[in-house]
Each structure stands twice: as C-alpha cells, then as structure tokens.
C-alpha cells in the first residue's frame, strides 16, 4: 500500500525580536525562494504571505518530511538568501521557534484568504495578539513570557 496523507499546516514565525525588517517591496522574492525550498522537498505550498515582522505558510508536507526539519531548512536557507541578496538590510535572522497548526482540508480556502489579507488584518491586531488567538483556538498551552521575547 502507498502512503496517503492530507495534512494542511499553517506555519507562523517571526523575525528576530519581531523587528519590522521584511520590507513589502522585496517580500515576493523571499516568498518565491521559500516556495522553491518547499517544492524541492515535495511539499505543496498553497499560500505564503505576511507582513513586516512575520510570515504565514499554508502547506502540505510530503510524508517523508518532518515539520521541524522543513522549518529549519526554510529558516536557514532563507536567512542566507536574504543576506546574500541584500533583500532586507536590517534583517538579523528569524526568531527561535515557530507555531504550527493543522486544519481540515475544507479550511484551505479560508486559510488562503486569511494569509492574503494579512496587511489589512494587521492594521487592527499585532502579531502577538494574532498568535495568542491562534494558540488559544487550537488549545495549545503556552507560556506568555516566551511570546514577549
């Protein structure tokens, strides 16, 4: 028998110290690069987006790829890409850690819209407020001390 999965992930992580370094003009270059990383690992990217201090990735991971390993690959490679290309001069790296949530495939379109509308969404809410809501909605126990670091 073959392996069949349909696990839809929303992965969220921010810039180091949540600095506002991801300038809008160059984000598409970063997103295309991350898409390439995921594609090379046989993962399907549904949407990537974000704002100046964090990104959201909506993806399906290939069954042979662990969540932790793909996030490590994305962070390490994209940090090098950003520095090599001079994309975001003030970028000092990604935060330690990440948040990841699974969804029913039926939620795909809603998640894609959510990521598309990040700019408008963050006119009303901060990254920490958004992350707190996501963690609470998914029943994730967390220490708020680590959200503020």
The C-alpha atoms of residue 127 and residue 40 are separated, in whole angstroms, by 29
pTM: 0.94
The domain ranges of the chain are 8-147
CB-based burial label for 28 (10 Å; 0-12, 13-18, 19+): exposed
CATH of domain 8-147: 3.30.70.1290
Paired tokens of 139: 């029943």
The residue whose two tokens read 């984000």 is 27
pLDDT digits (tens, 9 = 90+) for 14-70: 999 999 999 999 999 999 999 999 999 999 999 999 999 999 999 999 999 999 999
CB-based burial label for 66 (10 Å; 0-12, 13-18, 19+): exposed
């Amino acid at each position: 028998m073959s392996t069949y999965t349909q696990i839809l992930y929303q992965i969220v992580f921010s810039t180091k110290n949540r600095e506002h370094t991801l300038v809008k003009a160059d984000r598409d270059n970063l997103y295309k690069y991350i898409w390439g990383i995921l594609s090379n690992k046989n993962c399907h990217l549904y949407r990537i987006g974000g704002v100046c201090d964090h990104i959201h990735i909506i993806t399906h991971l290939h069954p042979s790829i662990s969540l932790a390993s793909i996030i490590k690959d994305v962070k390490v490679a994209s940090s090098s890409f950003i520095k090599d290309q001079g994309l975001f001069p003030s970028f000092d790296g990604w935060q330690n850690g990440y948040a990841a949530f699974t969804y029913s495939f039926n939620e795909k379109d809603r998640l894609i819209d959510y990521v598309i509308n990040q700019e408008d969404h963050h006119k009303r809410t901060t990254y920490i407020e958004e992350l707190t809501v996501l963690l609470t909605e998914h029943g994730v126990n967390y220490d708020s001390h680590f959200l503020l670091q």
